Amino acid sequence: MKVSRRTLLKLTGFGFAATIMLPRMAFAARNSLKSLRTGVQPGNKTRLVIEMAARPSYTLSYPANQLVINIANTAANTSLTPKLASGTLVKSISQAQVGDRLQITANLNKPIAQIPKSQIMMLEPNGDNDYRLVLDFTAGNAAATTAGTATAAKSAAPAKSAAPAKKYIVVIDAGHGGKDPGCIGKGGTREKDVVLSVAKKLRAKLDANGFKTYLTRSDDTYLKLSDRAAIAERRKADLFLSLHANANPSRAMKGFSIYTLSEKASDEEARKLAESENASDKIGLDDWTGFEKDIRFALSSLQQHAVAEMSEEYANGCARTFRGAKIEQQPGPGVRHAPFAVLRSTVPGALLELGHLSNATEEKLLRTGAHQDKLVDAIVRSVKNYNFEV
C-alpha cells in the first residue's frame, strides 16, 4: 500500500556500532521531544507515538523485551511524562541521552519482532500535532528479537541493497469525456478536449522523466468518477492527478486553482465546484457508498489521514510551482478543499483546475499548444519536486 511505502523512514539497520564510529561533533540538539504516548489499535496492536518538533532521523533496535528508538541530534526531555494506555505491550518508557542522540527505550511485556515498514508511519504536523513517528506492533516472533540490534542490522541490510530503483506511478485523469463535455467556453472550447490534450502531453513528459504513467482515458470516452478512482487503485498509483478546466458565472474570473479531497468544502466556491464536477457523473449514491466502504475497510483512519496529508503536500507544492511558472492563479487560496468524488481513494492526489474556459482570454490560451506545454512543464516539475519517499 502506497501509504506505507511513502511513510516509511530510513531504517538504516546500523544500530549502535555505526553510530559510535561516526566522528564526534559538538552537540547542539536540533530536535526536541514533545510527547510520548501509547494506545491500542484494532488487531491487538500496540501503537507508540513519538511526537517531535522536527522530522526525526532515527534507528530502531530490538534488545530482549525492549524496543529502542535512537533519534539523532535530539536532547532528552526528562520533564516529560509518557502517556501510557492500559492493555498495550508497553510497560514503561525511559529516555537517555547518549551523546547527541536521544535514546527512548520501551520496556515490553512480551518480545516483538522487527516492526515491518508498513507499520511505521511518519506524519507531518497537523493542527495541534507536530511531527509524529508512529510505530504499530504486536507480540510474537521472539526468535527475531533475541539477537537484539545485530538481528535488526542483518535483516535490514539485504532489503536495502536488493531494492531496485523504483519507478513512481502516476495516474493522469482527463476529466469528463464522451457524452459529458464538461464546461464549454464561449468560443466553443470543450473542457473534455482541452484536458485530454494536456493529459496526453503530460503523460509523454512524465514518462520521459522516469515515471510510469497511466491515463484513465486516452480518447473521447465517458468514464464514471468511481471508475477513474478505481483505475488509480488498480494501478497502485503513487499519485493521482485529475485535470479539469473551470467555468465561473463571472466571465472576468481567471486563473488556476488546485483542490484536494475533504468532507467539508473550504469555501462556498469550492463546494459549488465539487457539486458541479460530481454532478457530471450520473451514478447513484449507492455506488459510492459501496466503493468507499471497501476503501474505508482497507485503510485505518491514520492511513486516511496520511493520504490526506500527502495530497495536501503535493497540492501546495503544485500551486507553488504554477505560481513560479507565472501561471495566473485564481484570486483566493491556491489550494482549496472539497468533497470531490473522483479523489475518493487510497491514492494521494489532487484535482487541478487549469484555468477558466468561461473567460475569453483564458479560453484562447487553453487552446494553444504553447500554454498547454507551459502547464505540462509546471505539472511535471511539481511531480518531480513531490517527495514520494517521506
Interface with Zn ion by CB under 5 A: which residues? Answer: 175, 182, 244, 277
Backbone torsions φ then ψ of 240, nearest 5 degrees: -125, 125
Report d(CA 37, CA 52) in Å as an integer. 12
Instruction: Indicate the Cα dihedral angle 278, 287, 292, 314, nearest 10°.
Output: -30
The span from the CA of 8 to the CA of 2, in Å, is 10
Cα–Cα distance measured from residue 82 to residue 91, given in angstroms and rounded to the nearest whole number:
11
Q: Name which of 48 and 341 has its Cβ closer to Zn ion.
A: 341
Helix (H), strand (E) at residue 212:
strand 212-215
CA contacts within 13 A on the Cβ side of 117: 19
What is the rounded CA–CA span in Å between residue 374 and residue 219? 22
> Based on CB atoms, which residue is closest to Zn ion, 136 or 277?
277
CB of 195 to Zn ion, least distance (A): 7
Q: Considering beta carbons, is residue 238 or 277 the nearer one to Zn ion?
A: 277
What is the rounded CA–CA span in Å between residue 264 and residue 65? Answer: 44
Nearer Cβ to Zn ion (15/175): 175
Q: Taking the complex as a whole, how short is the minimal distance between the CB of residue 183 and Zn ion, in angstroms?
A: 6
Nearer to Zn ion, 228 or 244 (CB): 244
- Closest to 136 measured CA to CA, from 284, 268, 7, 275: 7
Task: Provide CB contacts within 8 A for 380, sequence distance 6+.
Answer: 202, 205, 206, 209
Q: How far apart are CA 45 and CA 109, in angstroms?
A: 13
Q: Is the CB of 170 or the CB of 225 nearer to Zn ion?
A: 225
Taking the least distance from each CB to Zn ion, the nearer of 36 and 274 is 274
Closer residue to Zn ion, CB minimum distance, 190 or 244:
244
* Distance in Å, CB of 309 to Zn ion, minimum: 25
Q: What is the smallest separation between the CB atom of 226 and Zn ion, expressed in angstroms?
A: 16
Q: Which is nearer to Zn ion, 102 or 261 (CB)?
A: 261
In whole angstroms, how close is the CB of 334 to Zn ion at the nearest point?
A: 18
Q: Where are the alpha helices (DSSP H) in 235-300?
A: 268-279, 285-298
In the complex, residue closest to Zn ion by CB: 244
CA 265 from centroid of its chain's CA atoms: 20
| Least Cβ distance, residue 243 to Zn ion (angstroms) | 8
Dihedral of CA atoms 121, 124, 125, 131 in degrees, nearest 10, equals: 50
Specify the DSSP element, H or E, that contains 47.
Answer: strand 45-52
Distance CA(294)–CA(226), nearest Å, equals 12
Q: Of the two residues 32 and 218, which places its CB atom closer to Zn ion in the complex?
A: 218
Report the nearest approach of Zn ion to the CB of residue 272 (Å): 12
Q: How far is the CB of 193 from Zn ion (least distance, A)?
A: 12
Strands 349-356 and 239-246: what pairing? parallel
258 has which bridge partners?
A: 335, 352
Shortest approach of Zn ion to residue 192 CB, angstroms?
Answer: 8
* Partners of 47 in the β-ladder: 39, 136
End-to-end Cα distance, the chain: 14
- Report in angstroms how near the CB of residue 366 gets to Zn ion at its nearest: 13
